[in-house]
Amino acid sequence: MLLARARLISLVILVMCVIALPGSAFADSNTVNMNFIGPGGNNAGGVYTYPYNFSISGGPSTALICDAYDNEIFSGETWQATVNPLLSGNGMFGISPANYQAAAVIFSSILNGNISPSAGNFAIWGLFSSTVQSNPFWSNAAGIEQWAMVQAALLPNSWFSNFVLYTPIDGTQSTGKTPQEFIGYLTPVPEPGAMVLLGTGLLALGGALRRKARG
């Protein structure tokens, strides 16, 4: 019985450590080759919105979301980009951790089907650019931006560890000016509420173990 209880406790500790993992595997930036295949077809306010499809270093098509409204790219364009954790402080817009966190919350909600791709993408653009507010479609996104800032402040940094930044290296582009920056995810991410429920479940399990130990 003691051995079984020890193994169960070890399992709980392991799960909690995985959740708290800060994404240290991506502490060092990597350089990749970006090949913009083309937009996925969503369009609002006269511009394409998520998804933007890429072949990254020759890999299969990968959908990313753009956070740089004031830059422009073209289908077939190529460039090099550094890949860093979302909260590394190495993005195009400097440290701006709160804005990047809010962008991840919005992106997560798009992936989970709770926010439309176009409204969500405009809200992400609004976090980093005031220019987007002159677009007529902006009225559909302003409320999302404010909601995401509040939600992001309630989440631990570990929640954002699945998100990465693809920041362009100026001068490596095949055409035009500095390309856009993009946000990607390593695995499908849980909604903020799901993370809270998971944490509650772990606390309940820990309480059950303590009661069993006292018995």
More confident residue, 42 or 195: 42
Greater confidence (204 vs 102) lies with: 102
Residue 132 lies in a domain: yes
Do 73 and 36 contact (CB within 8 A), yes or no? Answer: yes
Residues of the chain above pLDDT 70, percent: 73
In a domain, residue 144? The reply is yes
Instruction: Quote the pLDDT of residue 94.
Output: 87
Indicate whether 149 pLDDT > 70.
yes
Instruction: Classify residue 73: in a domain, yes or no.
Output: yes
Q: How many domains does the chain have?
A: 1
Overall size of the chain counted in residues: 215
Q: Confirm whether 21 is domain-assigned.
A: no
Give the other-Cβ count within 10 Å of 5's Cβ.
12
Local structure of 114: helix, strand or coil: coil
Whether 118 shows a pLDDT value over 70: the answer reads yes
CA 72, CA 44: separation in Å to the nearest integer? 16
Q: Is residue 18 part of a domain?
A: no
CA–CA distances in Å: residue 3 to residues 10, 50, 52, 172: 11, 51, 51, 58
Rounded to an integer, the average pLDDT of 30-34 is 97
Residue 4 lies in a domain: no
Q: Is residue 5 part of a domain?
A: no
**69 CB contacts (<8 Å, ≥6 apart)?**
125, 128, 129, 131, 132
In a domain, 20, yes or no: no
Task: Say if residues 122 and 107 touch (Cβ distance below 8 Å).
Answer: no
pTM score: 0.76
For position 201, what pLDDT does the model report?
38
DSSP character for 68? -
Instruction: Write the pLDDT tens digit of every residue in 53-100.
Output: 999 999 999 999 999 999 999 999 999 999 999 999 999 998 779 999
State which residues form the domain around 180. 26-209
